[in-house]
Amino acid sequence: MAWRRTILGLSGLAMGLLGTGATLNYFEEALPTTLNPLFAETMVDSRAQELVFDRLWYRDAITNELQSRVVKTHQVAEAGRAIKITLKEGITWHDGSSMTSKDLCFTVKSMLNRGTPSVVAAAYQEFVAGCETQGPSVALVRFRKVLPKPRERLGFHILPASQFSSTAISPDMEFSARPTGTGAYKGARTRREVIFDAQSNTHHSPSLMQLQLREGGDPLLQIRTLEGGEVQGIVVVPPGSRADLRASDEVTLKSYDLRSWWFIAVNTKNPALQDKRVRQALNLLIDRTELREYTIGVKPGDRNSPCEFISGPFVSVSPYYNRTIPTVPTANRAKADALLKAAGLTRIGGRWHLGEQPITLKIGMLANLNNEATDLLEQVGNQLGDAGFDRQTSKVSADEWSQEVVSGQSDFDLVIGKWSFGLVEAVGDLFHTNGRKNIFGYTDAGVDEFLNAYEDAVTDTEQKDAYHKLHARLADELPYLFLWKLDTKSAWRTEVRGNIITPYFYFTEIDSWKVVEN
């Protein structure tokens, strides 16, 4: 092994000396909160981690073929309740040590260890039972039940056993800032950027010597910096800036398949908002068409709008989306007023009151959403203000969002946010009474019943039916006012070639990325 490491080291050194690779600078929405895949919380985290680690199995971004860079062979065992995995030989961690079955089993055991407080791991704990090494490169992963297609379920990143003293992994370890993986790049978080240095390996041959991730900030500055050539890419381009870039010969806009939808979560614990008729009225008071025009720049009747209204917790192209539930594109003040009166609210001096008290809505919005939908918070406030509600609007910083809002500890009445999904669109965490991301601790027996039905479904049609019913229920109960899905586009300079963007994970095909002179 030593001679192989030496050769790899020398080849890495040679790459550096010959300067064959280039550096790629790009703007992200923010800096990643962690580089430890067990604690990914944002899309930025997931994209950055994809550069540093290998997932056990992944899908090819072009052909959608299920592939693995680390698995040599596999074999379903124990009548479908386990899978025997033989790892490729010669794969090394960024510290030079070899990746073995011990690392694979360590990763599985870490995810199963209750001392690892990871939400990501919790999802695997539901069907993974354990792991047993059978020699340096063979591991047997056991499941709690028979899995028809086990490879497709095992999409976790592999962690190095040598970097941890126990299988209880926590997010505050140095690993979160300077992780060791087997991916194409070794990542290191600094105060204002994340540097990814190419790592030569038997299963990766990156062309780019280094990637530099920095926080984007002001969209206008990002766009001009890109046009000026000081940076090669922007991962998320706000819709308002796309027309400029589309017309440029120096920059290419690329689609990034990410299923994201925007919402206004309603605090059902607020006495005024407990009554669903009030929530239904609020839903009718939001003029989405006007919101979309003023904040995203989509004019009514625009063909191929990047922004499409939704009536439930799925993007409208999803099979889980119940198309019989209509969206509410414009406001209906008369109907809303009738609902509010029916709910016992009174209008005094143009302001809505509950009993003697005027209703004041505290509205919050995840601050960085303002880059994609400028002044959305203010415009929502204006619409509700015009309708007769006093309001206090406040942006919510990313840390406050994690600390308070998502964990159901905020004192807002309405919260504007966005959720992103990949192929799997499970929304149990958002709406179930015990959901981990249930913003206002919303609870409804009917909703829980449909979510349980989804989990217990025998067939995928039953799952779809359960979610269609859930959609209908949520559109009636309205713990969220559903706004729209917004397409995501990236912009890369034309000298960046081979830049295949993998849906959701983004950088899976980073080896093929290179920078050439135009």
Partner 1 sequence: MLPLMVPAIITGLIWALPGDPASLICPPSRCSGTQALAERWNLDAGPFQFFVGWLRDALALNFGRSWSAFQGMDVGNLLAEAIPVSLMLVGLASLWIFTGVFGAATGWIHRRLDPLLQTSGMIPVLVLALVGAAIVDLTYGFGSSGQEGQMARIIIGSAVLGLADGAFAGAVAGTRGLFSSESRQRYVGVAILRGERELANTLPNVTPALVGQLRARLLHLLSGAVVVEVMLKINGIGDLLWAGTLEQDFGLVLGTATLFAVGSALLLVLQAMCEVAVALHVRRSPGVQAA
Partner 2 sequence: MNRRTWLILALGCLGLLFSGAWMAPEHLSAMDLRLSLAGPDLVWPFGADVKGRPLREYALQGAEVVALPAITAGLVVALAGVFGGLLRCVGTESVDATIQGLGEVMGALPRMVVVLVVALVIPRDSRSLMPMALAWAVLAAPGAMDEAASVAERLGGSRFVEALRAHGYSATRIYLVHVVGFNLRPVVVRQGAETLMQVVFLEIALSYLALMEGRPSFTHPDSSRSWADLLQLGYKSLFPSLRYDSEHALWLGLSLLGLVGLMTVSIGRMARAR
Partner 3 sequence: MMRAAWRGPALLLGFVAGFGGCGSPKDVAGPRASEAVIDAALLAKAWPVRLSSDAERAPFEADPGWTHIFERRYPLALMEFNRSGNAAGRARVHQELAAVYRQGALIAANATHHVYGADRAPTDPLALQYIVGVSRAMRGDAAAAQVALAEATLVPAVAAQAAAWSTWLEGGHIWPPDRAWLEARTGPMGPVDPTTQPLLMAMPHHQLEERTAQGATVDANDPTALLALSEWHLAAARKAAGKGAADLPLLMNTWRLPVESAVTGSLGAGADAWLFGRGALCPEDLSFLADVDASGPGAVSAWADRSPLAAALAPAWDGSKLNHEKVLDQSVLLMRQAQVAMVQATGGEAGFHRPFALFVRLGVLRAGMQVADKAGQYRDAGILRLEALERMEGGKGSVQRDPAFALSVAAWDAGNRSPLRPEDILHNLVTDFPALAAARTPLEALHLRLNRHAAPSTPVH
Residues near partner 2, by CB under 8 A: 217-218, 220-221, 224, 228, 293-294, 362, 367-368, 370-371, 374-375, 377-379, 381-382, 385, 391-397, 400, 411
User: Are the C-beta atoms of 358 and 329 separated by less than 8 Å?
Assistant: no
- Between residues 167 and 305, which has the closer beta carbon with respect to partner 2? 305
Residue 18: exposure state from Cβ atoms within 10 A (0-12, 13-18, ≥19): exposed
Provide the minimum distance between the beta carbon of 374 and partner 2 in the complex, in angstroms, as a whole number: 8
Write the CB contacts of 200 (distance below 8 Å, at least 6 apart in sequence).
Answer: 8, 11, 12, 15
**From the list 277, 437, 464, 514, which residue makes contact with partner 1 (rule: CB under 8 A)?**
437
User: Are the C-beta atoms of 202 and 88 separated by less than 8 Å?
Assistant: yes
Angle formed at CA 155 by CA 404 and CA 316, multiple of 5 degrees = 65
How far apart are alpha carbons 246 and 223 in whole angstroms? 12
- Of 431-450, binders to partner 3 (CB under 8 A) are 436-437
Establish if 461 lies at the interface with partner 3 (CB under 8 A).
Answer: yes
Helix (H/G/I), strand (E/B), else coil: 259: strand
Provide the minimum distance between the beta carbon of 156 and partner 1 in the complex, in angstroms, as a whole number: 16
Provide the minimum distance between the beta carbon of 219 and partner 2 in the complex, in angstroms, as a whole number: 11
3-state secondary structure 343-371: CCCEEECCEEEECCEECEEEEEEEHHHHH
Residue 385: contacted member of partner 3, partner 2, partner 1, none (CB under 5 to 8 Å, by partner type): partner 2
Output the six-digit token pair for 116. 């690892």
Strands 233-234 and 23-28: parallel
Provide the minimum distance between the beta carbon of 153 and partner 2 in the complex, in angstroms, as a whole number: 37
Establish if 420 lies at the interface with partner 3 (CB under 8 A).
Answer: yes
**From the list 227, 404, 449, 465, which residue makes contact with partner 3 (rule: CB under 8 A)?**
465
- Between residues 392 and 420, which has the closer beta carbon with respect to partner 3? 420
The DSSP letter of residue 137 is T
Residue 503: contacted member of partner 2, partner 1, partner 3, none (CB under 5 to 8 Å, by partner type): partner 3
Residue 335: contacted member of partner 1, partner 2, partner 3, none (CB under 5 to 8 Å, by partner type): none
How far apart are alpha carbons 37 and 53 in whole angstroms? 8
Residues 116-155, mask of contacts with partner 1 (x by CB under 8 A): -xxx--x---------------------------------
Establish if 175 lies at the interface with partner 1 (CB under 8 A).
Answer: yes
How far apart are alpha carbons 497 and 512 in whole angstroms? 8
- Between residues 114 and 191, which has the closer beta carbon with respect to partner 2? 191
* Alpha carbon distances (Å) from 30 to 43, 217, 232, 353, 461: 10, 8, 17, 40, 39
Which DSSP helix (H) or strand (E) runs through 136?
A: none
Establish if 30 lies at the interface with partner 1 (CB under 8 A).
Answer: no
Binding site for partner 1 (CB under 8 A): 25, 27, 33-34, 36, 39, 41, 114-115, 117-119, 122, 168, 170-178, 189, 191-193, 214, 221, 224-225, 228, 230-231, 399, 402-403, 406-407, 409, 436-437
